[in-house]
Amino acid sequence: MLCKAANRVINRNEPTFLEEACSRILSFCNSNSLKQGISVHSPVIKLGLHHHLYLNNNLLSLYAKCFGVNKARHFFDEMPHKDVVSWTGILSAYVKNGNHDTALRVFDSMLISGESPNEFTLSSVLRSCSSMGEFDYGTCIQGYVIKEGFDQNPVLISGLIDFYSKFGLVTEASNLFITKGNHDTVTWTMMISSCVLAQRWAGVAPNEFTFVKLLGACSAHGLNYGKLVHAHILLRGVKLNVVLKTALVNMYSRFRRMEDAIKAVSTFHAMGVSGIIPNNYMFSSILNVSSLMLSLALGQQVHSRVVVTGLEGDVSVGNALFNMYVKCSDNVEDALRVFRGISLPNVVSWTSLIAGFAEHGLQLDSFHLFTEMREAGIEPNSFTISSIIRSFGAAKLLPQILMLHGHVVKTNLYEDIAVQNALVDFYAEFGMLNDAWQIVDRMNRRDAITYTTLASRMNQMGHHESALHIITDMKNDDIKIDEFSTASFLSASADLGTIMTGKQLHCHSVKSGLCKWFSVLNGLVNLYGKCGCIHDAQRAFGEIGMPDIFSWNGLISGLTSNGYIPSALSTFDDMKLSGVKPDAITFLSILSACSNSKLTDLGLEHFQSMREIYNIEPQLDHYVHLVGILGQGGRLEEAMEVIQTMPFTANTSIYKTLLRACKAHRNIPLAEHTAKQGLELDPLDPAFYILLTNLYQDAGRHYFTERTLTVMKEKQLRKNPSHCWVEIRDKVHVFVAGERSHPRTNEIYEQIESFETEFKKHGYLFQGIGHSYYHSEKLAVVFGLLNTPSKATIYVIKNSSICRDCHNFMTFVTQLIDREIIVREGNRLHSFRKGECSCRG
């Protein structure tokens, strides 16, 4: 028909009519994506209309829609004239095809040609920037938008909101939304979608898609909001399609509201009453909701409907039923019964069954099922193998994993990167790093997951320096450091105390756009808090839009360890006011703050609130802090009673805590009893003898001091030499108490003597005595002073507590010279500046 119309066009010799006829045909075909419309191309050429820009733009659009971007590009290149519509047409074709790199190159060519983009061009370019991760390019586009007066255009406002939200910058997206005039449904829905992606709460008449997004936001931010949105859906008479019904079920189920969820589920029943029979997709969706809300009763009701409908043998429904019983029922036989009822279980069915048994602690049964799966002729895929490896690894089933590894080696799956990464993780988790590295070395291709897994496991084992070396391995393999690996490396830097490495990672994360990720920002808060840079930690915390429990814990811990106790307690109050519930880790920091500042009553109040208000059962570490709180307050008998009545077996740490308190209050009888209890647990721990010796010496009991030292000598017990390390120009220098092996030892000792002379001149009451004179922290600090710029802060990490003489030494040094010295001992930091320490000691 179109060809005949084209011939009639040719036979008429009226130019205006010909142009109009061709335009109408092309416009109609474009609107309906009819490829027959391309037959007009030939008449257009024959009639000499190939220079007609409007017709050519319509043809370009038709080629893109019906014949693909390559045909469209060929036509575009042959167009004698091009305008903004032409350029936008080919650019948007590349965007829709997912070829964003080419789309951006087309845009560059457009600008070079002198053609100015319109709002639709810029909207497409923003989409490409989002997809390519080109944040800087995108912000340049925003600058152009503002410069050309497009900043109130709703199309570009929506595009920019989407752009910022995809980079996790929802605050910027929200500010843009708030400051840019009136909004239509599209803009509102885009903003709501952005908030949902970022787990934030975000009317113009909303449609059903708007309400789906709103319900998603309600799932994260409160049942009352959800009920309000549901009420508006009913008031506005919005049509309840399947997607919207499922969103309602999802929202109610997340709040464990059984009654409301069943009300929402009743809409499916209404479908049956109206003659619409639920299909396998609908049943699978609602069964997945039952799994999410852990409602066995709801799942069983849906199961009965499945049976009535005759879909119990359907693979997708069977898999959903099986998953529901695995998640909701304590009896795995229920799940197994459903599995046996599936007519032709597929690899997904078998994988779910095996993983389900493993989750219920039946790992050996799950291994037998794996064998049965293979005997049934179902070959496991990479997801099956990697899932089994993870579940077996969590259960510490080394023999079974080794057998599975042997099976994998015999198949093509051994070359699958997901399987290889799962094996790397397993061996690293077991501490078998050599085996993990052997797999890594044999891999044809490694990715960020491979190295992030290794770095994470090394951190857990305390091999922080080895974890940082992985940065070089990733660089050699040309693998980009992503947000997860950055977080692992920041953790290693924080625990190792290598602040310069941490700062380099910070710079990298800024340049690569990784600073928008929660894990990276939380890592920076942790890094700076542990390295004594509390203001930098607070600055990193301030960049987190919606701080989570890890963010708050990192800041509170940093404030506590740096001696900012009032700020730590105030931040704890801010956390509660923000709606974030404290966890067991939070209370470790809060109890530590109360212990260090001798806030006995407040510490007891917080300890009691754990169980009474927050339903958190205190663990042994919390009781250690409780003993410290009571001990610091001089309530030593109560502290001992806590040890005797707590629901845990006492360890040496809790006895040492009480012994330190006895030393502080010179309670010798209780100290001796406490030391005896601790030595019964570990007779070879010299710390008990050393603490007793110091107590006797402080109390003037020199006979007991000598006798205790004699016992230590007879038992051949020696205090492990303390050591410190300091990072200078990306190199870590380690110092051991009393050592003279460092190449600059003589220079270090000369500087110590020089400081001693200056102390005497200024009348400081300092005396370097015997064993403390060459302590590692003193050597490390002086070495740092000799090898860093005159205003640089010195960061030193120590494996044990700083002694009183070294503490005085650093206090006096910072009184002589304008330098800050930060010494970290365990989880506590001493920041020396202008003759004072943050510990006030």
Q: Got the DSSP string for 280-292?
A: HHHHHHHHHHHHH
Would you state the pLDDT for residue 176?
66
Would you state the pLDDT for residue 185?
45
Question: What domain range includes position 573?
Answer: 546-608
**Contact between 129 and 91 (Cβ < 8 Å):** no
Is residue 474 domain-shared with residue 527, that is, in the same domain? yes
The neighbour count for residue 336, using CB atoms within 10 Å, is: 18
For tokens 């450091």, name the residue: 481
Is residue 529 domain-shared with residue 564, that is, in the same domain? no
pLDDT-wise least confident of 108-117, 148-157, 234-243, 742-751: 234-243
Would you state the pLDDT for residue 201?
39
Is residue 402 domain-shared with residue 499, that is, in the same domain? no
Return the structure tokens found at 312: 């119990």
Would you state the pLDDT for residue 699?
85
Residue 159 — pLDDT band, cuts 50, 70, 90? confident
DSSP 3-state assignment of 106?
helix
Residue 639 confidence (pLDDT) above 50:
yes
Would you state the pLDDT for residue 222?
56
Would you state the pLDDT for residue 198?
45
CA–CA separation, 546 and 653 (whole Å): 36
CATH of the domain at 625: 1.25.40
- Average pLDDT, integer, range 101-121: 86
Is residue 349 domain-shared with residue 385, that is, in the same domain? yes
Residue 30 confidence (pLDDT) above 80:
no
Measured CA to CA in angstroms, residue 627 lies from 30, 459, 617, 825 at distances of 79, 30, 16, 20
Return the structure tokens found at 375: 């005997």
Residue 168 confidence (pLDDT) above 80:
no
Angle at 164 between CA 159 and CA 170, to 5 degrees: 120
**CA dihedral of 467, 471, 476, 482, whole degrees rounded to 10:** 120
Residue 441 confidence (pLDDT) above 50:
yes
CA–CA separation, 302 and 287 (whole Å): 7
DSSP 3-state assignment of 91?
helix
Residue 189 confidence (pLDDT) above 60:
no
**Contact between 502 and 531 (Cβ < 8 Å):** yes
**Ordered strands of the 794-798 beta sheet:** 731-736, 723-728, 794-798, 821-825, 828-833, 836-837
**Contact between 483 and 520 (Cβ < 8 Å):** yes
Domain-terminating residue out of 687, 719, 751: 719
Residue 738 confidence (pLDDT) above 80:
no
In the chain, the percentage of residues whose pLDDT exceeds 90 is 23
In the chain, the largest separation of any two C-alpha atoms, in whole Å, equals 126
Would you state the pLDDT for residue 127?
85
Would 195 be classed as within a structural domain? no
pLDDT-wise least confident of 250-264, 378-392, 620-634, 709-723: 250-264
CA–CA separation, 317 and 311 (whole Å): 7
pLDDT-wise least confident of 34-43, 492-501, 625-634, 706-715: 34-43
Would you state the pLDDT for residue 240?
64
Would you state the pLDDT for residue 772?
45
Is residue 530 domain-shared with residue 587, that is, in the same domain? no
Q: What is the sign, positive or negative, of the torsion defined by CA atoms of 510, 515, 519, 523? A: positive
Would 797 be classed as within a structural domain? yes
Question: Measured in whole angstroms, how far is the alpha carbon of residue 415 from the centre of its chain?
Answer: 28
pLDDT in tens, 263-309: 645 555 565 556 666 677 677 777 776 776 677 777 787 788 788 77
Return the structure tokens found at 613: 């208000």
Would 153 be classed as within a structural domain? no
Domain-terminating residue out of 388, 416, 444: 444
- Average pLDDT, integer, range 608-633: 94
Residue 601 confidence (pLDDT) above 90:
yes
Total domain count, the chain: 6
- Average pLDDT, integer, range 201-225: 58
DSSP 3-state assignment of 751?
helix
**Contact between 744 and 783 (Cβ < 8 Å):** yes
Is residue 485 domain-shared with residue 561, that is, in the same domain? no
Is residue 565 domain-shared with residue 578, that is, in the same domain? yes
- Average pLDDT, integer, range 382-410: 77
Would 335 be classed as within a structural domain? no
Residue 466 confidence (pLDDT) above 60:
yes
- Average pLDDT, integer, range 29-55: 68
- Average pLDDT, integer, range 114-127: 86
Return the structure tokens found at 622: 């919390």
Residue 825 confidence (pLDDT) above 50:
yes
Task: For residue 110, give the nearest of 75, 80, 68, 82 by alpha carbon.
Answer: 82
Of 477 and 326, more confident:
477
- Average pLDDT, integer, range 119-147: 83
Stretch (H or E) spanning 725 = strand 723-728
Q: Mean pLDDT in the chain?
A: 80
pLDDT-wise least confident of 108-112, 457-461, 585-589, 608-612: 108-112
Question: Measured in whole angstroms, how far is the alpha carbon of residue 525 from the centre of its chain?
Answer: 13
Strand 821-825 relative to strand 794-798, pairing:
parallel
CA–CA separation, 281 and 636 (whole Å): 65
Of 328 and 676, more confident:
676
The neighbour count for residue 728, using CB atoms within 10 Å, is: 16
Would 32 be classed as within a structural domain? yes
Would you state the pLDDT for residue 722?
76
Domain-terminating residue out of 444, 461, 484: 444
Residue 654 confidence (pLDDT) above 90:
yes
- Average pLDDT, integer, range 25-31: 67
Of 21 and 382, more confident:
382
Strand 731-736 relative to strand 794-798, pairing:
unpaired
Return the structure tokens found at 748: 């270090």
In the chain, the percentage of residues whose pLDDT exceeds 70 is 80
Would you state the pLDDT for residue 302?
78
Give the amino acid at 604: L
Is residue 704 domain-shared with residue 728, that is, in the same domain? no
Residue 202 confidence (pLDDT) above 50:
no
Residue 319 — pLDDT band, cuts 50, 70, 90? confident
Would you state the pLDDT for residue 292?
65
Is residue 690 domain-shared with residue 729, that is, in the same domain? no
| Residue 208 exposed, middle or buried by CB count within 10 Å (0-12, 13-18, 19+) | middle
Is residue 681 domain-shared with residue 753, that is, in the same domain? no
Q: What is the CA radius of gyration of the chain?
A: 35
pLDDT in tens, 487-526: 999 999 999 888 889 999 999 998 888 888 889 999 999 9
Would you state the pLDDT for residue 8?
45
Residue 99 — pLDDT band, cuts 50, 70, 90? confident
pLDDT-wise least confident of 68-82, 205-219, 466-480, 684-698: 205-219
Is residue 739 domain-shared with residue 806, that is, in the same domain? yes
- Average pLDDT, integer, range 55-70: 82
Of 159 and 22, more confident:
159
